[in-house]
């Protein structure tokens, strides 16, 4: 199999996994926010224990495979859509780091000391939603590839 095709398949699979993990974490926080943490706390904690390392690994692997794809296709790194998606990826990473930190605080059980639980979960959901929307914007940019 051609290296470029194999790398495209790998990059597409990693992108799909990133959206699945991010969507799953957002769904868990949304359910915990609306339904209270009574029955959802163990599920949210398990999601955090799986989702945070998965987001970290995918967040590191995606730029590497993306830039490798650009190098193999001989696309210049100075194009507007490449630079724009890199900046958006950096902003999404910052939003997801804030989201992850809040989930880890929630997992540790320190959330009631920091703020009321519903407000804490609402802000966590906001950070995650901003990161998710930025990732969608990156997906649109890379699929459209404007000049």
Burial class (CB in 10 A: 0-12, 13-18, 19+), 21: buried
pLDDT reported for residue 87: 93
Residue of 63, 56, 55 whose CA lies nearest to 86? 63
pLDDT reported for residue 111: 53
Name the packing angle between helices 80-108 and 3-35 (round to 10°). Answer: 40
pLDDT reported for residue 42: 56
3-state secondary structure of 36: coil
pLDDT reported for residue 115: 57
pLDDT reported for residue 64: 92
15 and 139 Cβ atoms separated by less than 8 Å: yes
pLDDT reported for residue 121: 75
Burial class (CB in 10 A: 0-12, 13-18, 19+), 136: middle
Tell me the pLDDT tens digit for each residue of 51-72: 888 888 998 899 999 999 999 9
Q: How many domains does the chain contain in total?
A: 1
User: What is the residue range of 86's domain?
Assistant: 3-144
pLDDT along the chain (147 residues), means of 10: 90 93 82 62 71 87 91 89 90 89 74 62 84 90 78
pLDDT reported for residue 43: 67
Burial class (CB in 10 A: 0-12, 13-18, 19+), 22: buried
Interatomic CA distance for residues 81 and 77, integer angstroms = 9
């Amino acid at each position: 199999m051609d290296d470029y095709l194999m790398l495209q398949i790998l990059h597409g699979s990693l992108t799909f996994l990133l959206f699945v993990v991010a969507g799953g974490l957002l769904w868990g926080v949304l359910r915990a926010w609306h339904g209270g943490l009574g029955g959802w706390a163990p599920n949210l904690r398990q999601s955090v224990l799986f989702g945070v390392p998965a987001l970290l690994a995918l967040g590191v692997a995606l730029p590497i495979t993306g830039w490798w794809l650009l190098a193999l296709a001989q696309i210049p790194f100075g194009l507007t859509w490449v630079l724009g998606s890199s900046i958006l990826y950096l902003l999404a990473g910052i939003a997801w780091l804030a989201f992850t930190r809040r989930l880890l605080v929630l997992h540790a059980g320190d959330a009631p000391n920091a703020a009321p639980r519903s407000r804490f979960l609402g802000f966590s959901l906001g950070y995650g939603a901003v990161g998710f929307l930025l990732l969608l914007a990156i997906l649109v940019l890379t699929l459209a590839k404007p000049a």
